[in-house]
Amino acid sequence: MPLKYFTCQRGKVLISECLNNCPDRCMSLPKLYSISDQRIWNGKASTTMLMNPTRMEYLKITRDYSVNPKQRAYAIFGTYQHHRLDIVAKKLKELESEKKLENETNSGILDLLEPDEKNIGKWKLVDYKFWGAYAVKKMYDKTTYEYNHNSLQLNDYRIKVEPLGFPISRMLWEITIRDGNTKTMNEYELDDPMPTIECERMDDDSVIDYFYQKNELLLNALKTNTLPPLCDFEERWNGRRCKGSLCEIHEFCPEGRKINRLD
């Protein structure tokens, strides 16, 4: 099921029709193919899926939903950045790039493992991010939901990769601020357009339990065909995420339909 339609000047159009038969495309084929690319559900969740609200992921798996290609502009930039950095990393033999990881609960792909120049014999786990200034400002405060939530991802990767012979000394978010060197960045008192923020090590059992519980919720919902509970308030970005394109499956969610006045 999942992503099946583009919403554009022609209305709701099958992606296959857009790519093969559209007489007036809104952008080039490479961009449209990139935007339409998606992870096909194979019965096993990824780390990023389990970090997302369970209801959101359930609906993305079980409903044929649509996106407006032009509202995925930042996703294209983020994907391109990962691709270019992966090409460079693979030319440097001492680095591990786009490494696939898996355990019995979930799978994931870490961006980069690099020997730690400050801790010989150990590795830095680096995660590339393409974020707005507001999100970056929140990450500097280690008490925020955003910081703690994103920490789960890197710690999940660390727990998976250390048994493979990569003792991790540091975990880092290497960020490109998408509105860097702009008025917005100055408003949030940020002076570095490409900052690096260190991620703190979390308790292993807590991380493992988080992903196990989220995985059980998703699998049980799929097995019983039951809509999961409403996303937590913080997962909904204090309610902002339910509005319009910020949640691509809002038309299938009772809360999303109410907030967007679709009923």
Tokens of 195: 């900052």
d(CA 45, CA 38): 13
Residue 68 has pLDDT above 80, yes or no: yes
Q: How confident is the model at residue 194 (pLDDT cuts 50, 70, 90)?
A: very high
Confidence check: pLDDT of 55 > 90: yes
**CA angle in degrees (0–180, nearest 5) for 51-129-54:** 15
Q: Of 65, 63, 70, 60, which Cα lies nearest the Cα of 8?
A: 70
Q: State the pLDDT at residue 89.
A: 86
Averaged pLDDT for residues 157-165: 97
Q: What pLDDT shows up at residue 73?
A: 75
With residue 172 as reference, give the H or E element that holds it: strand 168-177
258 vs 148: CA distance, rounded Å: 30
pLDDT band, very low/low/confident/very high, at 110 (cuts 50, 70, 90): very high
The answer to which of 77-81, 108-112, 215-219 has the lowest mean pLDDT is 77-81
Q: What is the mean pLDDT of residues 174-193?
A: 90
pLDDT tens by residue, 205-214: 999 999 999 9
User: Distances in Å between the alpha carbon of 119 and those of 113, 124, 151?
Assistant: 13, 9, 21
Q: Per-domain residue ranges for the chain?
A: 74-211, 230-263
Residue 36: pLDDT band with limits 50, 70, 90 = confident
Query: What mean pLDDT comes out for the span 101-108?
Result: 95
- pLDDT above 70 covers a percentage of the chain that reads 100
d(CA 4, CA 15): 6
Q: What stretches of the chain show up as alpha helix (H) in DSSP? A: 15-21, 29-36, 47-51, 54-62, 73-91, 133-139, 145-161, 183-187, 204-224, 254-259
Higher pLDDT, 154 or 88: 154
Distance CA 130, CA 139 (A): 13
Q: Identify the CA nearest to 196 among candidates 125, 263, 249, 144.
A: 125
Q: Residue 191 pLDDT > 60, yes or no? A: yes
pLDDT over 80 (residue 168): yes
For 78-92, 180-194, 233-247, which range has the lowest pLDDT when averaged over its residues?
Answer: 78-92
Nearest to 36 by CA among 20, 57, 48, 47: 20
What's the pTM?
A: 0.91
Residue 174 has pLDDT above 90, yes or no: yes
Does 156 score more than 90 pLDDT? yes
- Which of these ranges, 49-63, 66-80, 140-154, 169-183, has the smallest mean pLDDT? 66-80
Contact 78, 37 (CB under 8 A): no
1 band by pLDDT with thresholds 50, 70 and 90: low
CA-based angle 231:234:235, to the nearest 5?
A: 45
Non-local CB neighbours of 80 within 8 Å, separated by 6+ positions: none
Q: What would the two tokens of residue 100 be?
A: 């696939």
Structure tokens at 84: 């270019």
User: Looking at residues 17-46, what average pLDDT do you find?
Assistant: 88
pLDDT value at residue 91: 86
116: left (phi over 0), alpha (psi -120 to 50) or beta: beta
Condensed to tens digits (0 to 9), the pLDDT of residues 77-92 reads 788 788 888 888 888 8
Predicted confidence at residue 170, as pLDDT, reads 98
